[in-house]
Amino acid sequence: MTSPSSAVEPLTRAERLSPGARVAVVAPSGPVPEERLAAGLDILRGWGLEPVVAPHVLDAHPTLGHLAGADRARARDLTEAWCDPSVSAVLCARGGFGAQRMVDLVDWTAIRAAGPKAFVGYSDVTALHEAFAVRAGFATLHGPMVAAGTFLSDPRTQESLRATLFEPETVLTLGLETARPLVPGRARGVTLGGCASLLATDIGTPHGRPSARGGLLLLEDVGEEPYRLDRILTHLLRSDWLDGVAAIGLGSWEECGPYEEVRALLVDRLGGLGVPVVEEMGFGHSATALTMPLGVTAALDADTGTLTLDAPALR
C-alpha cells in the first residue's frame, strides 16, 4: 500500500480475463439508462464474458436525481461484487456524480483481503481509482464504462478495452495520432490520474493521496469552463500536490470551452513545472477513449505522444 510519505509506487496488477469469465457491473455514481446498459451488456457477451448486474445498478435515489440509488446500496454493490470469488472483474456502468459520497462506505478491509481484480471506469470513478490505489494497493484501468455512449458507438474504444482485458501484451504502447508535445521530453514513473476536478477535491481528505511525486499523471475533465479549470489546476499547484511529478499526459477537455483557450491555460498552469507534457492522447470524455492502466510503471514520451508500459496492464 502507498504510505502517506511515499512517492507514487507500482501497484498490484490483476489477472487478465479469459472467455467465459464472470464480470460484475456496478453503478457507483449516476443513474443508468436501462437501454444503454442492455446495449453495453450485449457487447460484453459478444466478447465471451458473462456480465452480472449488481442489485442496485438501476436504482434511483429517492430525492437526489443525480444519484443511482442510496450511497450505502451503491457501496454495498461494489464491496459484494469485489468479494465474490466467482467474479473476475468489476466494470462501472457510468460516471456522473456520487462516487465521493459512497467511497468511505466501501469495505476496504474486505476488498484488500479479496485481492486484485480488473476494475474499469473513468470520470467520477476517479475517486474510486484513487481509493483502490491508496487503500488497497491495486492497479486499475481508466477505461470506458458499460453504458457510456463512447463505448457503445466507437469500435476503437471497444477494442482498446477488450485487448487490455484479454490480450494486454498487445497494448503496451498507448496514445492516439492526435497526441503531440505541449512541453517536450521523456520521463519514467508510475501512472495515476483521471478527472482533474476529482483529484483536486480529494486533497485534504483522510485517505487522499498526499502527492503525485514520481508519477506519470494522466489528466482530463469534462464540462469545466476555462476559469474553473484554472481554479482546479491552481489548487493542485498551491497544495504542492504536483511537486515532483515526473510527466503529465493530457486527455480530452470535452465541453470545457474552445480548445485554444483550454490549451493556453494548460500551458500557463503546467508548462512551468519543468516536466514533459503531452496533449490530446485520446483518453477520457472523447470520441475515442483509450484504456489507460493506472498504478503501473511506464515511460511517457511527449515527442512521440506515447505512453509505453514496462509490462502488460494485467498479468
Instruction: Give the residue-averaged pLDDT of 141-164.
Output: 97
For residue 314, give the C-alpha cell.
494485467
Indicate the pLDDT class of residue 6, thresholds 50, 70 and 90: low
- Read off the pLDDT of residues 239-290 as tens digits, 9 standing for 90 and up: 999 999 999 999 999 999 999 999 999 999 999 999 999 999 999 999 999 9
Percent above pLDDT 70 for the chain: 98
pLDDT of amino acid 227? 96
The C-alpha atoms of residue 213 and residue 246 are separated, in whole angstroms, by: 7
Q: In what order do the strands lie in the sheet with 22-26?
A: 50-53, 22-26, 87-92, 118-121, 140-142, 292-294
What's the whole-model pTM score?
A: 0.96
Architecture (CATH level 2) of domain 22-169: 3-Layer(aba) Sandwich (3.40)
Paired sense of beta strands 215-222 and 277-279, if any: unpaired
The C-alpha atoms of residue 87 and residue 22 are separated, in whole angstroms, by: 5
Domain definitions of the chain by residue range:
22-169, 173-309
Alpha helices, H only, 84-222: 99-102, 108-114, 126-131, 149-153, 155-166, 196-202
What values do phi and psi take at 249, rounded to 5? Answer: -110, 135
Q: Give the list of residues 6+ apart from residue 99 with CB closer than 8 angstroms, or none.
A: 28, 29, 124, 125, 126, 127, 128, 198
| pLDDT value at 3 more than 60 | no
pLDDT of amino acid 168? 98
First CA to last CA distance, the chain: 19
- Read off the pLDDT of residues 62-78 as tens digits, 9 standing for 90 and up: 899 899 999 999 999 99
Four-point Cα dihedral 255, 258, 263, 264, nearest 10 = -130
The C-alpha atoms of residue 153 and residue 242 are separated, in whole angstroms, by: 35
- Read off the pLDDT of residues 115-130 as tens digits, 9 standing for 90 and up: 999 999 999 999 999 9
From residue 20, give the alpha-carbon distance in Å to each of 4, 89, 217, 289, 313: 39, 12, 34, 25, 20
For residue 40, give the C-alpha cell.
453495453
CA-atom Rg of the chain in angstroms: 18
For residue 195, give the C-alpha cell.
478527472
Q: Which residues pair with 12 in a beta bridge?
A: 138
pLDDT of amino acid 7? 86
173-309 belongs to CATH 3.50.30.60: yes
Positive or negative torsion for Cα 63, 68, 69, 73? negative
Name which of 71, 190, 95 is nearest 140 in CA terms: 190
Catalytic residues: 123, 220, 285
